[in-house]
Amino acid sequence: MKIVVIGSGYVGLVSACCLANSGHEVWTVEKDPKRFSTLKEGHMPIHEAGLDKLFEKCFNNTLFVENSLRTVPNAVSVAIIAVGTPSRTDGTVDLSQIETVIEELTAWCDYNLTIVMKSTVPPGTGQELMKKYFARLDKDFTYVSNPEFLREGSAIADWYLPDRIVLGSTNEAGIQIMEELYADIKAPIVTMDVTSAEMTKYAANAFLATKISFINEIACLCEKVSADVDCVAKGIGFDKRIGPHFLKPGIGYGGSCFPKDTRGLEALSKRHDHSFHLLSAVIEVNKNQVNLAVEKITKSLDGLEGKRICVLGLAFKPGTDDIRESPGIEIVAKLVSAKALVTVVDPIAMESFKAKYSQWKLTYCHEESLELGTNSQAIVIATDWPQFIQLDWCAIYNRMLQPRVILDGRNCLDAEKMKRIGFVYLAFGRRNDL
Ligand code: UGA
């Protein structure tokens, strides 16, 4: 099948590389000049495990890089839209990039093209777009909503082994073409109307965010009654109706999806005069996790001014260099504004961090550096990179200064071991008397 993928962010690049790897002929269109030239020179601009290898294998073979639709052969049967849908300050979603792409596609193509929406758009968007752009044309287009459930860090595995494929369309032919597109993927295909497919994406992310905020609230209560949240999460997770995933407490969720999509759903609810109390609480709880972390460090160091603190982790989660809405960076911001002397470390997100936050006066360190922790009074684990878990914590203890605090913002270290070494070990909802 001949396919054009518009937008080379995480979703666009993973889709383009995986489809090209499956033998489809794929053109990817990227307008950003810097990203386009990186791709055109055969380099992968993002860090996603295995993606560089797939790209290398398919580049100029089944995968072609363009910066405009004009140079894409007018014979593609499917156009996948994977451009950004950023949040506005009021939480509503900015659809301007989507509208530009639809305008370009409808002007460029004079035959029945299947337009597939992979960007996350608020429920109702597809219907509005079809009314606005297709109704006035004398050409036929097929519209399919195909929300994406890939996780950064495991996107390729998620592409080939998804829990399900959701397809929303008004047109049976649209569903058939998508089944052909995904012929090599074994997963249940759930078909529905366009608006329900759009809502499925928001509901999935909102539900996962709810699980995280729920366990964070339980963790707070565990601290008060001296229970252990890790045991509680395990105890409830075996219940198949609850499941073991997304029950890890800590400094909260970040990234380009959960924060934006929960705000987007909240804004949509308001627009429809519905008070989504539960979702608002989920967002509020998540925001507060960073404050709780800073309070814990402040208390343990008896203030922050002039205190030496090393923050481990800038990426919003391990396995990515994505720093968007990273809770670790919010912690760094709060420490800097309280005049702490901050060192930061991340295995791969350091460059993207430096490019965006050069205004802060910080010390940079490498995770393999023997300097890590030297003269720090506290260490904050903000991202649960495996490299951090495996550090030589005894050596770090010896390099640190009193009171040698560890704030484990991801409950990822062995609490007993840390205490045995001698650290003042703080986490979220873990018993302190162990
Ligand atoms: C999320 C969803 O998991 C994907 O299904 C979805 O496709 C994607 O958003 C999207 O909408 O594009 P992602 O943002 O890559 O994927 O990351 P997650 O693994 O879901 O983690 C999100 C955040 O939640 C991270 O900051 C992580 O540290 C945090 N988290 C996750 C917790 O705090 N506790 C948990 O138990 C799990």
Cβ neighbours of 251 (radius 10 Å): 29
Phi, psi of 257 (to 5 degrees): -115, -65
Kindly report the CA angle at 379 between 315 and 367, in degrees rounded to 5? 55
Q: Whose CA is nearest to atom 27 of ligand 1?
A: 253
Which of 257, 263, 286, 326 to mutate to test ligand 1, by most ligand atoms within 8 A of the CB atom?
Answer: 257
* Mean pLDDT value of segment 424-431: 95
Whether the Cβ atoms of residue 67 and residue 30 lie closer than 8 Å to each other: yes
Structure tokens at 67: 């910066």
Choosing from 109, 257, 365, 412, which is the catalytic residue?
A: 257
Specify the residue with its C-alpha closest to ligand 1, atom 7: 149
Q: Residues, the chain, total? A: 434
Q: Where are the beta strands (DSSP E) in 360-423?
A: 363-365, 378-381, 405-408
Q: Which atom of ligand 1 is least distant from the CA of 317? A: 28
- pLDDT above 90 covers a percentage of the chain that reads 93
The tokens for 292 are 């709780």
CA 149 to the chain's CA centroid: 10
For this structure, is 310 an active site residue?
no
Residue 400 is encoded by which pair of tokens? Answer: 């640190």
Residue 247 Cα to ligand 1 midpoint, Å, equals: 12
Half-sphere exposure in the Cβ direction for 149 (13 Å, CA): 22
Q: Output the CA angle 349-351-357, nearest 5 degrees.
A: 95
* Six-digit token string for 24: 């489809």
Atom of ligand 1 nearest to the CA of 245: 36
Q: Which residues line ligand 1 (CB under 6 A)?
A: 148-152, 205, 208, 212, 246-248, 250, 252-255, 257-258, 316-317
pLDDT band at residue 432 using 50, 70 and 90 as cut-offs: confident
CA angle at residue 349 from 355 to 120, to 5 degrees? 90
Q: Average pLDDT, stretch 169-190?
A: 95
Asked if the model's pLDDT at residue 433 lies above 60, the reply is no
pLDDT per position as a tens digit, 91-133: 899 999 999 999 999 999 988 899 999 999 999 999 999 999 8
Tell me the pLDDT band of 434, cut-offs 50, 70 and 90: low
Pocket test for ligand 1, best of 13, 47, 152 (most atoms within 8 A of CB): 152
Q: 336 near 406, Cβ under 8 Å? A: no
pTM of the model: 0.96
Q: Best substitution site from 253, 290, 331 to test ligand 1's pocket, by max atoms within 8 Å of Cβ?
A: 253
- Mind listing the pLDDT tens digit for each residue in 162-171? 999 999 998 8
Q: What is the pLDDT of residues 323-339, one digit of tens each?
A: 999 999 999 999 999 99
- Alpha carbons 340 and 317: distance in angstroms, whole number: 24
